Structure 1
Amino acid sequence: MGRTNPTFRDVLSRMEDEWGDFRRALRRRHQPLFDRLFTYAHEHADAASHLNHPDRLAPVLVSIDLEQEDRIDELEDRIEVLESRLADDD
């Protein structure tokens, strides 16, 4: 039997196409940021395909949230290291 639902990667590609006009209307400095959001979603496409959620935007948003949480954690770690160095210098 074949799949009744398109793969999440297919859904994601169609979503990118659908948002193309929005992306082009963004200021140039914001376009790479917008692209990064879809990159985040692509990085979690395998997990999202297992969800098969009826709202196709939900796994995209959760993927973006996960990647942004990871970036926040990395930045917090860097800040902690820098603050520690500053405290040692005093």
Structure 2
Amino acid sequence: MGRTNPTYCDALRAIEERWAEFRRALRRRDQPRFDRLFEYAREHADASGLLNHRNPLLAALFSIDLEQEATLEDHEDRLEALEHRLNEQPDTEPASDEETSETHR
């Protein structure tokens, strides 16, 4: 007996095909970004397939949001670590112009 619903991966492929003209109309610099969004959606294909929602675009968009949230969290963690390292460094003030000229006399 055949499936009544296409698999999520099939549905996602169909969505990507429907958006192909939009992708072609994008500037070249944005096309890889567009492709990355579908990569994000494919990252969560297992969970999205289990959802079996009538509108697979919803699962794709939520998957994209999850990946972007993870990226944002990673950037926040890295920024916090950099700020922490900067705050740990001893404060060394550069010598003033007057002090520099006195040492070179």
Q: TM-score, normalised by structure 1?
A: 0.96
Q: Which residue of 2 aligns with 1:66?
A: 66
Q: Across the two proteins, how many residue pairs are aligned to each other?
A: 90
TM superposition shift of 1:2 = 2.8
Structure 1 unaligned regions, length at least 5: none
SS of alignment partner, residue 27 of structure 1:
coil
| 1:26-65 alignment, distance < 5 Å | 26-65=26-65
Give 1:40's aligned amino acid: Y
- What is the rounded CA distance, in whole Å, between the counterparts of 2:61 and 2:80 in structure 1? 28
- What is the rounded CA distance, in whole Å, between the counterparts of 2:54 and 2:74 in structure 1? 32
Give 1:3's aligned amino acid: R
Structure 2 unaligned regions, length at least 5: 92-105
- What is the rounded CA distance, in whole Å, between the counterparts of 2:2 and 2:32 in structure 1? 37
Runs of 4+ in 1 over 3 A off after TM superposition: none
- What is the rounded CA distance, in whole Å, between the counterparts of 2:70 and 2:8 in structure 1? 22
Q: Which residue of 2 aligns with 1:7?
A: 7
Residues 12-50 of structure 1 deviation map (CA, whole Å, 9 limit, x = unaligned):
111111100000000000000000000000010111000
TM superposition shift of 1:56 = 1.9
Identity %, equivalent residues? 60
Q: Compute the RMSD of aligned alpha carbons.
A: 0.8
